[in-house]
């Protein structure tokens, strides 16, 4: 990432802060078991402003500070530790490679930070995210308060930095869109590979392995979220991640998986028949979900409000369920009674970006916000007819279908970033027929 772009982002934050100081820690490292850590992934807000990839780092922005406005606390170089853990940027690297105006060893933060808080009115901070860090910040503030008799003033205003940062992150800039396109491209290859590889008798985790193979090959450090590889009845479990069941002839397989590239997520779902040929019932329900998805994507354009794609998808889904005699009544009546909810219990999309369920408000002053160019949303309607669904003929049972794409709002409409993954009945069956 161009260091100038990051500098611009930090300036934009500082302009909006109107004084005070901003403190942004990266994510803590977490233990997985005994002495094994979970793979480290930086905090999204921190990374958005710094692109600093190492753990144990804190960025501080001090607008107007004569000796430099951007301070970075990070791990010092350490020859011995680096033999085991790899190279660190160190203090010099933080300045030279990451553009910090000033850098300090993270081990000195307890000595340095209280000084920065002296006579500073306002602290901007992503409060409540990391409890350990909240406690440390309060300890630093208390240290300054203890000096009040010497005339030093402690901060008296704490502002949630979310408002500034998350509004910025909602509008993706060209360099972010490039990364999201890469994430989608890698994920598309993975979904296509999974479709080609799928055979009855395989285990869900074998298909997951095909996905991970393409993610890694495409340069993704990790999936953006745990992949869902759900065959048969499991396709009706929304957050199924065990991925350990066997796939059977005649069942559907629902895959919800996306790669993360440089901390930007893809989030893509496709549903296809394990044996490569949709049954009559699977076809009928699939066509309904696809029609709902296409109609919803058509509503993703500037000027429409956030909920329009969802409202459209719900109407198309209900009409489909009426046509198939799964529901009875009128569209408006069924919406009013929420009678579709046993089969469609989630919303049609969410913001997508550095976090899979990305930041950004959905309402402004209590009304759905208008869609604007640069926003990225998923569009992911589905239908899930679980076994034993009341009043539904058993031929529909255990069919869970979701179709999810990642959609960028452009000036005059939208671009489907994940369009390379087939989603019509014909295109899916054709790709599956190719085999591995
Ligand atoms: N993969 C999570 C979601 O679709 O929201
Ligand atoms: Mn999603
Ligand atoms: Mn998803």
Which are the contacts of 339, defined by CB distance < 8 A and separation ≥ 6?
327, 329, 333
Mean pLDDT of 125-138: 94
Q: Which residues surround ligand 3, an ion (CB under 5 A)?
A: 256, 267, 404
**Predicted confidence (pLDDT) at residue 436 exceeds the cutoff of 80:** no
Residue range 348-378, pLDDT digits in tens: 999 999 999 999 999 999 999 999 999 999 9
Order of strands, edge to edge, in the sheet holding 405-410? Answer: 376-379, 405-410, 413-416
Pick the CATH number of 3-168 from 3.40.800.10, 3.40.350.10, 3.40.50.2300, 3.40.50.150: 3.40.350.10
- DSSP labels for 351-383? B-SSSSS--S-SEETTEEPBP-TT-EEEE--EE
Of 297, 294, 359, the C-alpha closest to 320 is 294
Is the pLDDT assigned to residue 18 strictly greater than 90?
Answer: no
Catalytic residues: 35, 239, 256, 267, 346, 350, 357, 380, 384, 402, 404
3-state secondary structure of 74: strand
**What does the domain layout of the chain look like in residue ranges?**
3-168, 171-434
Quote the tokens at residue 105: 């060893």
pLDDT digits (tens, 9 = 90+) for 53-109: 999 999 999 999 999 999 999 999 999 999 999 999 999 999 999 999 999 999 999
User: Per residue in 307-326, pLDDT tens?
Assistant: 999 999 999 999 999 999 99
The pLDDT tens digits for 279-312 are 999 999 999 999 999 999 999 999 999 999 999 9
Q: Which residue carries 């509004």 as its tokens?
A: 167
CB of 340 closer than 8 Å to CB of 321: yes
Distance 330 CA to ligand 1 centre (A): 30
pTM over 0.85: yes
**Token pair of 222, please?**
């990790």
- Which DSSP string do the residues of 104-170 spell out, in sequence order? EEGGGHHHHHHHHHTT--EEEE-TTS-HHHHHHHHHHHHHHHTTGGGTPPPP-EEEETHHHHHHHHH
Residue 76 Cα, ligand 2 centroid: separation in angstroms? 39
Nearest CA to ligand 1 atom 3: 267
Q: CATH says 171-434 is which class?
A: alpha beta
List beta partners, residue 264.
261
Report DSSP state, residue 349. Answer: -
């Amino acid at each position: 990432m161009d260091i100038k772009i990051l500098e611009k982002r930090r300036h934009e934050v500082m302009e909006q802060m109107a004084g005070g100081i901003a403190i942004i820690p990266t994510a803590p490292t977490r233990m997985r078991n005994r002495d094994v850590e979970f793979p480290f992934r930086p905090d999204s807000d921190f990374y958005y402003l710094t692109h600093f990839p190492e753990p144990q780092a804190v960025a501080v922005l001090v607008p107007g500070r004569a000796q430099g406005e951007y301070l970075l606390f990070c791990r010092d170089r350490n020859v011995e530790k680096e033999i085991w853990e790899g190279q660190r940027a160190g203090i010099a690297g933080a300045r030279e490679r990451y553009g910090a105006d000033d850098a300090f060893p993270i081990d000195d933060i307890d000595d340095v930070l209280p000084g920065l808080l002296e006579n500073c009115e306002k602290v901007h901070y992503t409060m409540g995210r990391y409890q350990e860090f909240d406690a440390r910040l309060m300890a630093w503030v208390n240290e300054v308060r203890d000096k009040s008799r010497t005339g030093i003033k402690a901060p008296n205003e704490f502002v949630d930095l979310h408002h500034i940062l998350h509004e910025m992150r909602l509008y993706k800039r060209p360099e972010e869109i490039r990364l999201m396109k890469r994430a989608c491209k890698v994920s598309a290859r993975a979904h296509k590979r999974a479709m080609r590889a799928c055979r009855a008798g395989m285990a869900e985790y074998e298909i997951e392995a095909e996905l991970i193979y393409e993610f890694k090959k495409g340069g993704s450090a990790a999936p953006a979220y745990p992949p869902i590889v759900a065959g048969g009845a499991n396709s009706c479990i929304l957050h199924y991640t065990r991925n350990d069941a066997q796939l059977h002839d005649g069942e559907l397989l629902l895959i919800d998986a996306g790669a993360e590239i440089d901390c930007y997520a893809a989030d893509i779902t496709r549903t296809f028949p394990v044996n490569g040929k949709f049954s009559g019932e699977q076809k009928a329900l699939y066509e309904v979900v696809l029609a709902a998805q296409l109609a919803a994507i058509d509503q993703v354009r500037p000027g429409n409000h956030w909920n329009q794609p969802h409202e459209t998808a719900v109407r198309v889904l209900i009409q489909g369920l009426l046509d198939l005699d799964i529901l009875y009544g009128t569209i408006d009546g069924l919406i009013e009674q929420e009678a579709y909810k046993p089969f469609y219990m989630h919303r049609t999309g969410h913001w997508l970006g550095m976090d899979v369920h990305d930041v950004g408000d959905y309402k402004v002053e209590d009304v759905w916000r208008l869609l604007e160019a640069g926003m990225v949303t998923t569009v992911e309607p589905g239908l899930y007819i679980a076994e034993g669904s009341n009043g539904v003929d058993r031929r529909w049972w255990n069919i869970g279908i979701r179709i999810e794409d990642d959609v960028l709002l452009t000036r005059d409409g939208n671009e489907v970033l994940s369009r390379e993954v087939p989603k019509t009945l014909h295109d899916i069956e054709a790709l599956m027929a190719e085999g591995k």
